[in-house]
Amino acid sequence: MSRNYPPVSIVTPVYNGEAYLAQCIESVLGQTYREWEYVIVNNCSTDGTLAIAERYAERDPRIRIHNTQQLLSAVENHNFAVGRMDPGSVYCKILHADDWLFPECLERMVNVAVAHGSVGIVGSYNLVGKTVRCDGLPYPGTMIPGREAARLALLGKAYPFYSPSSTMIRADLVRARDPFYDPAKMHADVELMYDLLRGHDFGFVHQVLTYVREHAASETARSAQPLNRILWSNFDLLTRYGPVFLDAAELKTRIRAYQGNYYRFLSRSVWEFRGREFWRYHAHGLRSLGYPINPLRLLGGALGQAICRPRDTAARLLRGLGVVGAER
């Protein structure tokens, strides 16, 4: 790699990604910034993923392919992938195989990182389907103190790190963590952001630079949505990182608001006849955070739903009973 510009390692861990991988790779090849290598880690795919990656690697020597020896979990594959970066890389850009980059992504992000030596993470606006995400940071500034960025996220005023595909991280910070992502955490990518923002600032480009695809085969759709694990995981993040970045009054207010949201969700779920696994998951999870389910509050919320929103409650009942075509 040339040292005229800071080299970037783009890293794509992929499992059975043939549907979108070519578009992902093409977006890397189309970057206006040219000082990059592209590491694709094929995690024992059983479809055409490897063939697609090899076809592109034959055309461009900056593309390197690694194959795992056994099927890894999503987090383990990410950790394996970032470990394959070139030792000389200055920045790391994770890019999921079903996402892609707009042409100026690397150029704009590197410019911000170089302009602010204290920046450890750079983000941008992110297009998720047809919706622009990662908004809320003050314009036109391109750097915000890391602790303030974390504070705004915990308060729900901004969420500048929607997906790993939407950020770029200093490579030395990546190498300093072993493992990079904590395999025990569902939202290991978000936890990483909060950890890094304790001591490093956040750079931001006020431009849509990345695209995140939402579809039924995504990791979030398959593992998180059926039980709404995301709701609990976000509460977990609030209870662990709130004391770090929020003052006592802010934390108390935020926890009260989150509890209210949680009980509204659980109250609606009563009328959907969720299974034992669902209730076990949330009961155990809330107890582990020090906020066990209050049966009276849950019952009151469920009755309130039935009284105040009878049509919605009836529709939920019919869906819970398996009645097809229930109208709202």
Does residue 169 belong to any structural domain of this protein?
A: yes
Does residue 328 belong to any structural domain of this protein?
A: no
Does residue 3 belong to any structural domain of this protein?
A: no
> How far, in Å, CA of 187 to CA of 193, rounded?
10
Phi, psi of 49 (to 5 degrees): -55, -50
Considering only CA atoms, give the Rg of the chain: 22
What is the residue type of 292? P
Burial class, 296, CB count within 10 angstroms (exposed 0-12 / middle 13-18 / buried 19+): exposed
Does residue 1 belong to any structural domain of this protein?
A: no
In this structure, the answer to whether residues 81 and 142 fall within a common structural domain is yes
Domain of 203 in residue numbering reads as 8-215
Does residue 301 belong to any structural domain of this protein?
A: yes
pLDDT tens-digit profile, the chain (328 residues): 444 689 999 999 999 999 999 999 999 999 999 999 999 999 999 999 999 999 999 999 999 999 999 999 999 999 999 999 999 999 999 999 999 999 999 999 999 999 999 999 999 999 999 999 999 999 999 999 999 999 999 999 999 999 999 999 999 999 999 999 999 887 899 999 999 999 999 999 999 999 999 855 555 544 556 789 999 999 999 999 999 999 999 999 999 999 999 999 999 999 888 889 999 999 999 999 999 999 999 999 999 888 888 877 777 766 765 654 444 3
Does residue 30 belong to any structural domain of this protein?
A: yes
In this structure, the answer to whether residues 43 and 173 fall within a common structural domain is yes
> How far, in Å, CA of 80 to CA of 187, rounded?
17
Q: Domain boundary residue among 183, 215, 247?
A: 215
In this structure, the answer to whether residues 60 and 81 fall within a common structural domain is yes
As separate numbers, helices (DSSP H) first and strands (DSSP E) second, the chain gives: 13, 10
In this structure, the answer to whether residues 271 and 131 fall within a common structural domain is no
Does residue 260 belong to any structural domain of this protein?
A: yes
Q: Is the pTM of this model over 0.85?
A: yes
Helix (H, G, I), strand (E, B) or coil at 26: helix
Give 136's Cβ-side CA count (13 Å radius): 18
Counting the structural domains of the chain, the total is 2
Core vs surface per residue 230-244: b (16+ CB within 10 A) or e = ebbbbbbbbbebbee
What is the residue type of 106? L
Q: Domain boundary residue among 215, 248, 271?
A: 215
In this structure, the answer to whether residues 194 and 268 fall within a common structural domain is no
Triad 14, 17, 23: Cα angle to 5°: 105
Does residue 56 belong to any structural domain of this protein?
A: yes
